[in-house]
Structure 1
Amino acid sequence: MEKTHRDLFKVIVTELFQIHRRSQLYKVLFPSSIKTPLNTRKFLHTLFENVIFIFNNESGEIKFTENGNLISISPFWHWNFALDLHEVSISRFIIECISYMTLDDFLNKLIDVCKDLNENMYMSESQRKTRVLRLQSIIVSWVNLMKDEIITNNSVIEKLLNSCLFKTDVISENILKNIKKEIQSTHVIDPVCFQSQPIKKFNCRLKIDKIYCGKGIKKVRIYKIKSTIVAKQIIMFNQRLWNTVHFSEFFYSKKTPTLDNYINKIQFIEKLTKASLEYDPSSKMLNFYIKVSYHCMFLGDFNSSCLIYSILSIFCSDVRNKKIFNELKSKTKRKYRSLENVYSISMQHANYRNAYADHPDPKIPVLALLLGENIRSDMMETYIQSNQLNVLKIRKVSDVVDMLYNAKEISFVFSEIPEVMQYFQNLIAFFK
Structure 2
Amino acid sequence: MAMSDEERYAWVRLTLEPGIGPVTARHLLVAFGLPQDIFSASASSLMKVVTQKQALQLAGPVDPAMHALIERTFEWLARPGHHLVTLADDHYPALLLDTADPPSLLYVDGDPGILAQPNIAMVGARSATPGGTDNAFAFARHLADAGWGIVSGLAQGIDAAAHEGALASSAALPTIAVMGTGINRVYPAANKALAMRIRERGALISELPLDTAAVVHQFPRRNRIVAGLSRGVLVVEAAQRSGSLITARLAGENGREVFAIPGSIHSPLSRGCHALIRQGAKLVETADDILEELSRSGSAPVAPTPVGRKRDTSRNVAAGDPPAQARVARPPVAAGNLIADPGQQRLLDTMGHDPVSMELLLVRLGISVGELAGQLTELEMLGKIVRLPDGRYLQRVNHLQ
- Identify whether the pair has TM-score above 0.5, normalized to the shorter chain: no
Tell me which structure has the larger Cα radius of gyration: 1
Greater relative contact order: 1 or 2 (C-alpha under 8 angstroms, separation 6 or more)?
1
Structure with more helix by fraction = 1
TM-score, with normalisation over the residues of structure 1?
Answer: 0.20
Normalising by structure 2, report the TM-score: 0.21
